[in-house]
A and B are shown apart, each in its own frame.
Chain A
């Protein structure tokens, strides 16, 4: 089953003709994902060609979705235009928008989030690596890869991974795959302070997904999303969860790369998050080197 997307999910790419969007559309096609449309205003009627693939390009998301049956959009549009791109996909009625773009102004995202909340479109990101539901093939080919994660490190299986950070997600996934444990779905929710989907949202989906048997949750300093997710998990989650929080050594008041990774006014510290997770029965990895190992121990696999 997996969550959010399956290998059958039909995906469109906003910004498919930009260099970043084009490169990752190609990698997704190589992975076997159904990239069925591209959207670049002014280039409607052209095609995005890659190997034997010929993906039609449309001027608007609405046309692309209607003519190709796409239900999910990947947004690779540059920051000044990204908020508009997300709103366009929500207006077209897509089920899911995955915003990869890094650097969208906070005030833009505040309005986007406020506008789409309560509607039928779920937003993941922005400033995120996207999501992967691994496929059955060699190196997990044949899965659904939306965004910028390396596909080949995955393996089809039963661990759900949710994280604010791209490379830490890859690290966890690779540790799992190297030990023979695959993933149901891996979701990067992004490093911005205003995002569409939280750790808690994803934990609830993993909890309800029959294919997911165990969960790795990776967080970092800033905000209180990890604490909220942990509190819910302690009371409701039926599945073993291991976690890791980055930023124990980060100085307060400094933004650590991600716009949302900042300890301010004594809030959002790694210590507070780790304590909340431990109190909820989540096994917290001492170092990022042992994320998979920590889960496998809790899960009774070691």
Chain B
């Protein structure tokens, strides 16, 4: 789950992480008022969408740029009028762009140094890890690749949490001395609390800046949250903006289906995450292109199978469907009935290849054969992939 920049700032305020002054605005009037309250010499106005590349983006109304610098509340209002309610297209949004419903109106700060600071879940140590670098404001992965000596990694004990000596060690490595070291200790400790208490898997501050007047501020942030912990994070769940997500994925999540849209034309419906990935792989191996990842889970119901078909068919790029079920415990005949009903309900006309294996498989195959549907049965995963690729190529 992702959150907007203004929501990240709300979390910072809650946990006491220092960042520049700013406020979210949903109307031009609110934007103007926010600018008045800031009383800053320079103000930055930023369109709030999840995609990157906002500064260089263009609105569909022709207005250029999703990020603007200005000086007066009147200018802020004028900018807001051209941005709010408009669709912003950036290199990450695709041609459809994203509707801008919110602006962040913030104090524009002068920067003397740009640093990098992140806390993330590290698989190798099975615990939290701090990553810090003097090279902020740039892509940290390229820093890691070209000058790994500039990256500091400090594992954090999950029972102790981040310790004051560790925050000083990081501050020293970043060249934050004197009063800045005290500010750094406070900021790093507050950020660790944010990370743990919000069940994050990553909080990345890039850049963490030092201003000419000696302030240390978290200027931009990226959060990742642990989906497994959302049940105990209602405040985070409330920040979810479904309009920013792939509508197919939103629909799937309502039926507890695991769906990820891809750009191929052969859809697949599978039980089990590993098998679902392997099914995408074998479609590609056979010369096709998978349109999605879809795991209906171990105990899929008829309703879920039906919902899965509708979501798959909602993707206009899809030219054929491969169903791959290994029914260990689940009854293959129940799945077969689910497929037949879903195909009838949706008036399916695309090629459909079904591979069933496991519990009560003969009855399941019989149900499919007797259905009168123009589907192809497959004897193995490889056979199914070959058949659907051929059928889509012939169509």
Contacts and interface: CB of A to CB of B under 8 A. Distances in A.
A50 B382 CA distance: 40
Contact of A164 (B226, B271, B274, B380): B274
Interface string B354-395: 000111000000000000000000001110010000000000
A105 B199 contact: yes
Given A287-B281, A289-B380, A257 B158 contact: no
B243 interface: no
Contacts of A265: 141, 144
B67 interface: no
A250 B278 contact: no
A258 B272 CA distance: 9
Interface in A222-247: 222-224, 244, 246-247
Contacts of B260: 251, 254, 256
Contact of B277 (A103, A163, A247, A260): A247
A254 to B, nearest CB: 5
A80 B159 CA distance: 19
Interface string B255-293: 000101010000000111111111011111100001001
Contacts of B231: 79-80
Nearest to A164: B274
Contacts, number: 164
A114 B328 contact: no
A297 interface: no
Interface stretch (A1-9, A53-61, A64-72, A167-175): A167-175
Given A166-B298, A224-B124, A266-B141, A257 B277 contact: yes
A249 B260 CA distance: 12
B282 A258 contact: no
A244 B280 CA distance: 14
B276 A110 contact: no
B277 A221 contact: yes
Contacts of B15: none
B201 interface: yes
B328 A287 contact: no
A38 interface: no
A193 B123 contact: yes
A113 B127 CA distance: 9
B258 A114 contact: no
Contacts of B281: 246-249, 270, 287-288
A270 B328 CA distance: 26
Interface in A102-118: 103-111, 113-114
A287 B382 contact: yes
Given A114-B126, A150-B359, A249 B290 contact: yes
Interface in B114-149: 121, 123-124, 126-128, 141, 144
B298 A250 contact: no
Contact of B329 (A27, A110, A164, A218): A27
A94 interface: no
B228 interface: yes
B5 interface: no
B316 interface: no
A260 B121 CA distance: 12
A153 B123 contact: no
A170 B124 contact: no
B277 A246 contact: yes
Interface string A94-132: 000000000111111111011000000000000000000
A289 B226 contact: no
A104 B226 CA distance: 10
B329 A191 contact: no
A150 B290 contact: no
B273 A153 contact: no
A288 B127 contact: no
Contacts of A221: 277
A29 B380 CA distance: 31
Nearest to B202: A264
A103 B358 CA distance: 26
Contacts of A110: 121, 126-128, 158
A167 B326 contact: yes
Nearest to B144: A265
Contact of B293 (A169, A191, A256): A256
A167 B121 contact: no
A287 B282 contact: yes
Interface string A147-159: 0111001000000
A136 interface: no
A208 interface: no
A166 B326 CA distance: 10
A106 B229 contact: yes
Contacts of A202: none
A261 interface: yes
Nearest to B327: A150
A258 B274 contact: yes
Interface of A: 27, 79-80, 103-111, 113-114, 148-150, 153, 163-171, 174, 191, 193-194, 218, 220-224, 244, 246-251, 254-261, 265-266, 270, 286-290
| 7 cross-chain pairs, A with B, having the tightest CB-CB distances, nearest first | A165-B274, A257-B273, A167-B272, A150-B328, A105-B229, A289-B382, A167-B275
27 contacts: A80-B231, A80-B232, A106-B121, A106-B201, A106-B228, A107-B196, A109-B126, A114-B126, A114-B159, A148-B298, A149-B328, A166-B298, A167-B328, A168-B278, A171-B326, A171-B357, A174-B357, A220-B274, A246-B275, A249-B277, A249-B280, A249-B281, A251-B262, A260-B123, A261-B273, A287-B278, A288-B282
